[in-house]
Amino acid sequence: MKLVTRSLFVKVYFWFWIITVSIVCVLLLVNPLNYAAIHTEPLRQNELDNFARFSEVLSRVLSNRSQPLLSNSPPKLTRKRYLYFYNASDGLTIQNKPLPINIDVSLLNDINAESPMRLISEQFTAIGPVDIELDSLNYAMFELFPDKGATLGSQITLAPLWVKVAVVIFVSTVLVFFFTQSFVRPILALRDSAVEISKGKLSSRVKTNMNRKDEIAQLCAEFNDMADKLERAVNNQKRLFRDISHELRSPLMRLSTANEIAANMASSELRPYLNRIETESLKLEGIIEELLI
């Protein structure tokens, strides 16, 4: 099939991407309603190895310190890093330095994982947790990246399941409704026109949009062309029947007149035969009348 710019394939493909992009955009718009969510992703092996080595070095450095880790005395190892420590038993939290923006790091307090992973929220990205001893207490340590929030894909993932389902159902229903109307309207018009033709209204036609050039428009045009040919064929048939009836009525009338004259002059033995001729003539005239209806 020759692919034209207004074919059904192009329209379906075009509307598929409209629906997909619309769903993504709506999900991104409603996602800010849910800030208290964290999306987790596994770390790549090299990231996992680097974070493990860093935590081991930091553990050794902190074990040799005589002072606790305070924001005003960060070690050189952590000067360019944002670290967050959380003690689950006492609820204690420590940061090696203030965060540049107001970030709700308490979202990390409920993270309980056997191995470090990437933690993505609307406000930051973090790596962790890893167990580390600090000031004679066990803490879960996270490395924060305040300038790296959720990506587009992660923002959609952060949305609650019911929001995703509701957005998909609502957006797809609305857009598919408008999309299918371009198919439903001409199909209904085809059905209505077919019903009218079946009832004898041969002049019924499908009203087509002149700007439409797809397969449905071609179907409507072919249907109208078929209806034109059918109407011409039926009209020609009626005209033929009228001509035939006219040609038959003249001899039948003459036959009936001659039969009536003969009946007036015939003997009683011939009258039954002449009456039979009259009866058959009337039957032929009735058949001609039925053909013209």
Q: What is the pLDDT of residues 178-192, one digit of tens each?
A: 878 777 888 888 888
Residue 156 in this model has a pLDDT that exceeds 60: no
Q: Which tens digit of pLDDT belongs to each residue from 107-141?
A: 788 888 788 888 887 778 888 898 888 777 888 88
Residues with Cβ within 8 Å of residue 92, at least 6 apart in sequence: 85, 86, 137, 139
Q: Are 189 and 161 in contact (CB under 8 A)?
A: no
Predicted structure pTM score: 0.44
Cite the residue boundaries of each domain of the chain with CATH code 3.30.450.210. 35-158
**In the numeric block, which tokens belong to residue 60?**
């050794």
Work out the pLDDT band at 252, boundaries 50, 70, 90: confident
The domain 205-292 is classified under which CATH number: 3.40.50.970, 3.30.70.1450, 3.90.1150.10, 1.10.287.130?
1.10.287.130
Instruction: Indicate the average pLDDT of the chain.
Output: 77
**Does 33 score more than 60 pLDDT?**
no
Per-residue pLDDT at 240:
82
The percent of residues in the chain predicted with pLDDT above 90, rounded, is 1
CA distances (Å), origin 280, targets 53, 213, 255, 292: 116, 59, 11, 19
Greater confidence (166 vs 226) lies with 226
Residue 196's alpha-carbon distances to 76, 118, 193, 227, 236, in angstroms, are: 89, 67, 5, 11, 20
CATH 3.30.450.210 matches 35-158: yes
Mean of pLDDT values over 85-105:
81
DSSP structure string for 180-239 = HHHHHHHHHHHHHHHHHHHTT-TT------TT--SHHHHHHHHHHHHHHHHHHHHHHHHH
Both structure tokens of 11: 């329209």
Average pLDDT score over residue span 42-60:
87
Tokens of 2: 């020759």
For range 58-84, the mean pLDDT: 67
d(CA 152, CA 147) in angstroms, rounded, equals: 15
Sort 31 into a burial class: Cβ within 10 Å, 0-12 / 13-18 / 19+.
Answer: buried
Domain with CATH 1.10.287.130 in the chain: 205-292
